[in-house]
Structure 1
Amino acid sequence: MKVVTAIIKPFKLNDVHNALYALGISGMTISEAKGHGDAKGHSQILGAVEYVGHFVPKLRIEVIVTDSLAPSVVRAIMEGARTGLRGDGKIYVTNLDEVYKVRTGETGADAL
């Protein structure tokens, strides 16, 4: 099994959710996140004052899937999250040794 984690722009959540739902993915975890990449934040001018934001608001999406489904999930997230502009985000895939469903005690793919 794999954990696919994506850091995306918040306004792209609906597009990513729809792309994952089209694959049959119904379970995911969404968290608010802040950070920066190469751009190292942004600045905004309000009135005559410039405010520098070092951390940009993002969303973190985590999806647990079988090994065979992981490449399709990555493609769906990339297509849903892409704007073509700097800061579109990152996706990383990690191995997952085991999953347990608390309510039923199921393990592995049955727990998904």
Structure 2
Amino acid sequence: MKKVEAVIRPEKFQALRVKLEEVGINGLTVSEVAGCGQQKGEQGLFRGQSFEIKLVPKVKVEMILETEQVDEVIKIIQSICSTNQIGDGKIFVYPVEDAVRIRTGEAGVEAIL
């Protein structure tokens, strides 16, 4: 099993969710986050005064998948979330040693299906 974590632009989340549902990926954890990387924030304007916003709002989407699903999900995330601009986000993949469903005690892949 693998954990795929994607930090994406908020406006891309709904389209990504729909596409993941179409391919049978329903288990997601979604968080509103803020951060900066190469994008380095934005310039804002309030009542004629310019100010810098260092942290940019993003959405973090996390999912635990069977190893065989990872490449397909990465391609989906890239195709939906890419604007070819700085700030599109990142995808991280981590190994998952085990998972246990609290209600039934099922472990491993059965716990995430």
Question: Do the structures match in fold with TM over 0.5?
Answer: yes
Q: Which runs of 5+ in 2 are unaligned?
A: none
CA drift of 1:46 comes to 2.4
Helix, strand or coil at the partner of 2:78: helix
2:97 maps to a residue whose letter is D
CA drift of 1:47 comes to 2.9
Distance in 1 between residues matched to 2:68 and 2:13, nearest whole Å: 24
- Equivalent in the alignment of 2:81: 81
More moved, 49-58 vs 14-23: 14-23
- Equivalent in the alignment of 1:95: 95
Distance in 2 between residues matched to 1:43 and 1:81, nearest whole Å: 23
CA RMSD of aligned residues (A): 0.8
Distance in 2 between residues matched to 1:60 and 1:20, nearest whole Å: 15
Distance in 1 between residues matched to 2:86 and 2:38, nearest whole Å: 9
TM-score of the superposed pair, with normalisation by structure 2: 0.95
- Equivalent in the alignment of 2:22: 22
Question: Residue 64 in 1 paired to residue 69 in 2?
Answer: no
Distance in 2 between residues matched to 1:103 and 1:72, nearest whole Å: 29
Question: Which runs of at least 4 in structure 1 moved beyond 4 Å after TM superposition?
Answer: none
State the aligned residue count. 112
Distance in 1 between residues matched to 2:103 and 2:10, nearest whole Å: 31
Percent of pairs with identical residues: 34
2:98 maps to a residue whose letter is E
- Equivalent in the alignment of 2:40: 40
1:11 maps to a residue whose letter is E
2:24 maps to a residue whose letter is G
2:85 maps to a residue whose letter is L
CA drift of 1:44 comes to 1.1
2:57 maps to a residue whose letter is P
Helix, strand or coil at the partner of 1:4: strand
Q: Which runs of 5+ in 1 are unaligned?
A: none
CA drift of 1:39 comes to 2.1
TM-score of the superposed pair, with normalisation by structure 1: 0.96
Helix, strand or coil at the partner of 1:43: strand
